[in-house]
Amino acid sequence: MSISATKRLRILQRDEFACFYCGRTLHLNYPVDHQNFTHPDLMDYAALDHLDPQRSGGSHHDDNLVACCRACNSSKGGRTLEAYRFSLEMKNPIVQAREALKYARSLVQLPMDAELLAAVTLLEQQNTGIIFPGEQKAALRLQTNVGDVA
């Protein structure tokens, strides 16, 4: 079952024509002569993505659909939002260093001097969680709606 044009437009408007994952401004229609555009140019055009992928039972319900650019849609693929977030976090050098330290510390229990211990502690405390722009906007919408009700 395909997503209707009305629903597609409603989701794009709700998400303010911005990619849920990277925040890029989305274009609604392909140019008439899109064959002469380069590949990166076409990546700015709007797509819809299922937060919970269809192949995992995700529905076409509005709460499961987000506006996104074709580059992010392609990058996420059929992964869940959390699996995609994890794959992006693992590319972060701080996360990679932290995971390497955890692994090394699990193998060898060597005493550390104070300076190394402080560096390891700081690295372990780094907040590297990825929050997508669309999540921030959704949280603001919820806060606004709660304020309207009160």
- Listing DSSP states for 63-78 in one string gives GGEEEEEHHHHHHHTT
Rounded to two decimals, the pTM is: 0.66
Cα atoms in the Cβ-side hemisphere of radius 13 Å centred on 101: 17
Percent of the chain whose pLDDT exceeds 70: 71
Q: What residues does each domain of the chain span?
A: 5-89+128-149, 93-125
Query: Residue 45 phi/psi, 5° resolution?
Result: -80, 145
> Cβ–Cβ contacts within 10 Å for residue 69, how many?
25
CA distances from 73 to 37, 62, 76, 116 (A): 19, 17, 5, 41
Question: 47 or 131: whose pLDDT is higher?
Answer: 47
Lowest mean pLDDT among 6-20, 92-106, 118-132: 118-132
pLDDT at residue 112 in the model: 63
**pLDDT tens-digit readout, 15-73:** 988 999 988 888 876 554 555 544 445 556 888 999 999 998 999 999 999 999 888 89
CATH for 5-89+128-149, among 1.10.150, 3.10.20, 1.10.30, 3.40.50? Answer: 1.10.30
Per-residue pLDDT, averaged over 115-129, amounts to 66
| 104 band by pLDDT with thresholds 50, 70 and 90 | confident
Averaged pLDDT, 71-90 = 88
Query: Among 13-17, 53-57, 105-109, 131-135, which is the least confidently predicted range?
Result: 105-109
Q: Residues of the chain with pLDDT > 90: what percent?
A: 21
- What pLDDT, on the 0 to 100 scale, is given for residue 124? 63
3-state helix, strand, coil in the chain (%, to 5): 55, 10, 35
**Residues paired with 45 in a beta bridge:** 27
Higher pLDDT, 53 or 120: 53
Q: What is the pLDDT of residue 66?
A: 95
